[in-house]
Homo-oligomer: A and B are copies of this chain.
């Protein structure tokens, strides 16, 4: 952010009176521009013992697999957002169920919320942001080609809970990946 979205004048970074955090503050009209984390909402679409995954046609993580998920929009609920993303990315209709995982990703200012969901019909296919969409059994999950840590951990909990016979809500935090050390 370089300019004030209210008046167009340049902004500078300063700590406003009574605050403790550096904000973008307009030098002309005084508007304080707060920036807050974003929610990524999505679901695990289930059909009997299979789940639906999408192979990404966009960066980041082009070509890798994920559950349908994306940024929550103004005016919707978390569950509506999860259903909308599933329709957009997989042309799939779902009935959204319980919230299954919540992952904080503080280093990129995101919170993931992934629901369980029931796939309502088999008439799905790749949306504009997907190369390919298909159903996977547990044995077929491409564990080494999962796009995001929050999705991988969610799928691990999913199959672990399923094996136990009880699904419960899981909350966690994703830390930055350790850098690979070349020796």
Seen from chain A, the residues whose Cβ lies within 8 Å of a Cβ on chain B are: 1-11, 18, 21, 33-39, 71-80, 98-99, 102, 104, 106-107, 109, 111, 128, 169, 171, 173
Contacts and interface: CB of A to CB of B under 8 A. Distances in A.
A73 B171 CA distance: 18
Nearest to A75: B106
Number of chain copies forming the complex: 2
A99 B5 contact: no
A75 B109 contact: yes
B2 A8 contact: yes
Given A1-B6, A36-B73, A75-B107, 14 more contacts: A3-B3, A3-B8, A4-B5, A5-B5, A5-B11, A35-B74, A36-B72, A37-B39, A72-B111, A75-B109, A77-B104, A77-B106, A80-B106, A99-B171
Contacts of A71: 34, 36
Contacts of A104: 77-79
B2 A5 contact: yes
Nearest to A8: B3
Contacts of A3: 3-8
A100 to B, nearest CB: 11
Contacts of A111: 39, 72, 78
